[in-house]
Structure 1
Amino acid sequence: MGSLDLVLKFILVVLVLALSSLGLIFVHDFITQSPYFGIKTIHISGAASLSDSALLSQAGIKMGDNILAVNLKTARARLVAHPWIRDAAIQRRIPSTLAITVFEQTAVARAAMAEDFQVLVDLQGQPFKPYEPETEPQTAGLPEIKGLRLESLDPLSPASRFGFKGKLHQGVMELLALDTRSLVRKITADKDLGIDFTTDFFKAHKAVGEIPVTLKLGFDGFKEKFAGTSKILDYMDGFAVEKRVRLIDFFNIRSVTITLEDKDILPGTT
C-alpha cells in the first residue's frame, strides 16, 4: 500500500508540474501575442543622418510588434552594426511605448585611400565608412585628407582593426581641431615633407582674397605657424599688393617663403 501511495504522489507531482508548465506557456503566449502590448508609440532621438524608418528597419522593429516580445539586446546590436551609429539605447515603457536613443558618428573629414575611393573620418580620426556623397549629401563639403595609410591599430591582436596612427595622423587631427570654423579644404600628409594645409580661414585678408591659401607646415608647431600666418597677412594687408598670396612655406621656420599668384616668390624672411 505504501508503494502505491508513493507512485500516486509521484504521478500527482508530475501532473501538477505539467499543468503549471502549460499554464506558464499559455500566459507567456497570451502576453506576447496580446494586442494590448502592441507597440503604438516609438520615440526616437539623436538621429540626424538616418530617417526614422531606416533606423527602425535596421533595428528590426515595427509598429504593432509586441513590446514584450522585442529582444532589446538584439535590437541594440543591430543598430550599432550600422556604420553611422556609434552607440544606442532602447527602453520599454509598458504597455505600448518604445524609446530609442542613438548616438551617431560625427564625420570631420574624408580620407583618400585610392583614386576613386575615400572613407569618412570620425572625431577620433578613425575611418568608419566609405564616403558616398551621392546618397549622403551632408558629407559633400568635408575637407579632404591625402597621404594617410591604413595600419593595424594593434598588430599583436588577431582581432585588431585597421585605422590611422602615427605622427602624421596626430598632426592632421591637431590641424582639424584648429579649424574652429570648418574652413579647411584639404590636408596633405607626406612622411618626408610634413603637412600641407589648404584653407579658406584667411579669406578676410586683402592679401588672400577668395581663393584658398596653402600653408606648408612641416611636422610640428602648427598652432604657432597658424598664428604666424595671421601676422604675416595682417602686415601684407597694409600694402597695395596686386597679386594675392597663394602659399606660405613654414617648413624652414627661419626663412618663411611666400608664393603669390603666377608663382611669384617673395624673398624669405627671418
Structure 2
Amino acid sequence: MLEFKQAMRRRYKNRPYRKKGAGIRDRVIFCLKIMLALSVVSAVSLICIFGYDCLTQSDYFRAETITVEGNQILSEEEVIKETLVKPGDNILSINLSMVRKRLMANTWIAEAEVVRKIPSGIVVRIKEHKPLAVLDLGKEFLLNDHGEIFKEKTTTDPENLPLVKGLKFSDLSLSGARISPSFNSLMTVLKLGMKPESILPNSSITLINVDREIGLTVFAFDKTIKLGFNNYPDKYERLEKVFYHAKNGRDFSDFETVDLNNLSRIVICPAANPAEAPEEYKKEV
C-alpha cells in the first residue's frame, strides 16, 4: 500500500505544469476566432442582400417581352393576364413557382412552365386540355383526350364537339376507379374520330347515345349509325364501304340508318326520300 502511494506521488510530480495564464489566452483566441467567423458571415450576408436588391431593382432586367407558347384555345392575352406579370416588372423578382400556380388555376391549362430569358424576357409554355366531347350528366361537362372531365361547359367553349348522353358519374374513371365498359367504348370511338382519315370524324358527330344494353349509337351526317359494343375498327371499315356504295348509287343512293352491331349481318334502312334529321342532330361541317 505504501509503495502504491509513493508511485502515485511520483506520477503527479512528473506531470508538466501548465501555467494558468496559458489557458486564459487560449480561450481568448478561441473567442476571437468565433467573432471573426461571425463577422465574415455577416459581411457576406450583407453583400448578398445588397447584391440581390441591386439585381431585382435594376432596369437592366425589366421585362420587355412576355412570350406565350402552346396556346390554341386561350389567347395570348388571356394567358398573360393569368400570370399577373406586366411589362416593366423585374424578371429576377418574379416568383416563377407562384406564376405557374396561377396558370394551373385556369381550367383549360393542363401543364405550365415559366422560365426567364435573360436579360429582359419571360417565356410561358402551356399545354391545354384537348376537348373530345361534351358529357351530359345533368349538367354539361367537357371531356379531354385522357378520359377526364376538366371543366363545366360554358357558352364560350367550342361548339363543334359531340354531345354524349346516357352515361352516369359512376361510369367515369374517378379516384382510380375501374372504367365501365360503356365509357371505355365511348373513348375508343372518340379516339378513332381523332384520326385524320376517320370515316366518322368527331367534328361530324352531333350526338353519341350510350346504352348499357345495346351499346353506342352515333348520329352523324344526318344519319343514325348503330355501332353497339367492340370491334370498332372493323365496323368503321364496313361503314366506309356502306358510304362508298351509297355515293356510287349501288343498290341504294342514300340511307337513314345502318346497324353494325353484327358484322355478319349489317342492316341498312335506305332513304327513298331522305327526311331532315331533328334540329339537335344537325351540325355544320
Q: TM-score range by the shorter chain?
A: 0.7 to 0.9
Paired position in structure 2 for 1:203: none
Paired position in structure 1 for 2:144: 122
Distance 1:106 1:123 in 2: 6
Do 1:196 and 1:216's aligned partners in 2 also have CA atoms closer than 8 Å?
yes
Distance 1:69 1:239, change over 3 A: same
TM-superposed deviation, 1:213: 0.8
Amino acid at match of 1:250: L
Distance 1:15 1:175, change over 3 A: closer
Task: Pick from 32, 38, 47 the counterpart of residue 56 of structure 2.
Answer: 32
Distance 2:185 2:192 in 1: 11
Distance 1:223 1:20 in 2: 69
The alignment's C-alpha RMSD in Å is 2.9
Pairs within 5 Å for 1:96-175: 96-114=120-138, 117-132=139-154, 134-136=155-157, 139-151=158-170, 153=173, 160=175, 165-175=179-189
TM-superposed deviation, 1:147: 1.7
Identity %: 28
Amino acid at match of 1:238: R
1:20 aligns with 2:39: no
Distance 2:34 2:265 in 1: 98
SS at match of 1:70: coil
Do 1:176 and 1:184's aligned partners in 2 also have CA atoms closer than 8 Å?
no
Do 1:43 and 1:100's aligned partners in 2 also have CA atoms closer than 8 Å?
yes
The alignment covers a number of residue pairs equal to 240
Do 1:194 and 1:218's aligned partners in 2 also have CA atoms closer than 8 Å?
yes
Distance 2:104 2:252 in 1: 56
Distance 1:235 1:257 in 2: 14
Distance 1:82 1:27 in 2: 36
TM-superposed deviation, 1:66: 1.4
- 1:200-245 CA distance string (max 9 Å, x none): 2xxxxxxxxxxx111122212223233323434544523576xx52
Distance 1:249 1:112, change over 3 A: same
Pairs within 5 Å for 1:159-198: 160=175, 165-179=179-193, 180=198, 181=201, 182-198=203-219
TM-superposed deviation, 1:100: 1.5
1:226 aligns with 2:236: yes
- 1:24-48 CA distance string (max 9 Å, x none): 2121112112222111111211112
1:248 aligns with 2:258: yes
* Stretch deviating more after TM superposition (54-63 or 187-196): 54-63
Distance 2:185 2:210 in 1: 9
TM-superposed deviation, 1:197: 1.0
Paired position in structure 1 for 2:108: 84
- 1:55-93 CA distance string (max 9 Å, x none): 123223222221111222232233233221121222212
SS at match of 1:189: strand
Q: Which structure: greater helix fraction?
A: 2
Distance 1:72 1:40 in 2: 17
Q: Which structure: greater strand fraction?
A: 1
TM-superposed deviation, 1:9: 5.0
TM-score of the superposed pair, with normalisation by structure 1: 0.76
